[in-house]
Amino acid sequence: MRTLVLTLALLLGACSSAPALKDDRGQSLIGASQVYTLTNLHADPQRKRLFAVNYQQSDLIPLCTEVKLLDLSAKRLQFTSTHNNVTYDYFYHKKAAAEPFDAHLKRYFGTSCNKAEVKALSKADQEGISTGKVKEGMTWKGVILAAGYPPSHVTPSTDANEWTYWKSRYDRLIVRFNDAGIVDSIQD
């Protein structure tokens, strides 16, 4: 009986294990040096939390910030930003992410950050990325770098001309693009 209980406990533990977050060479990003943010991140300034729903909160962790990924579970990534030496918790919500947690995190964290790509963007894009705010005149690429990806449960495709971000549980930010892929209006 004791063996059966132990076996069941091990099996249940395996079912709820953390995803493997690895780089392109198969190396774990947890504890690795030279991991960077691939978009701006917007954290809750009081609770030091971020969410897969990508709330547009005021604590900005800039694009290309070096981070140390400390711990990964099935629903939470803990990391420290070298930008301000603060430790954050990033919480996964399957519905909002609409993809496995490790795939979702690879959109936001990687082993290199292309600063030259930002320099090649328009002045409007560069200003929006610098402030972490979406502005009229930005391209879809600039918006992603400035604000991150819109949550998939309200914006299933970034090919759409309207993207919805959440500012809080009750407040939304709607970004509309013209046919050329330039932001022409923002409903805040």
Using CA atoms, how far residue 32 sits from 45, 50, 87, 113, in Å, is 25, 21, 16, 15
The predicted model gives 7-31 an average pLDDT of: 68
CA 89, 75, 66, 119: dihedral to nearest 10 degrees? -110
User: What share of the chain has pLDDT > 70, as a percent?
Assistant: 90
For residue range 96-124, list pLDDT tens digits in order.
888 999 999 999 999 999 899 999 999 99
Look at residue 10 and tell me whether its pLDDT is greater than 70. Answer: no
All domains in the chain, ordered by first residue: 19-110 (2.30.30), 121-187 (3.30.1450)
Which candidate, 106, 111, 68, 104, places its Cα nearest to that of 87? 68
Look at residue 3 and tell me whether its pLDDT is greater than 80. Answer: no
For residue range 27-83, list pLDDT tens digits in order.
888 999 899 999 999 999 999 999 999 999 999 999 999 999 999 999 999 999 998
pLDDT confidence tier of residue 1, bands split at 50, 70 and 90: low
| Average pLDDT along the chain | 91
- What does the alpha-carbon distance between residue 18 and residue 49 come to, in Å, rounded to a whole number? 19
- H/E segment holding residue 9: helix 2-15
Give CB contacts under 8 A, 24+ apart, made by 52-55.
Answer: 52/90, 52/91, 52/92, 52/93, 52/96, 52/97, 52/101, 52/104, 52/151, 53/93, 53/96, 53/151, 53/166, 54/96, 54/147, 54/148, 54/149, 54/150, 54/151, 54/165, 54/166, 55/166, 55/167, 55/168
- The three-class DSSP label of residue 157 is coil
Q: Give the per-residue pLDDT at 11.
A: 47
Q: Give the per-residue pLDDT at 50.
A: 97
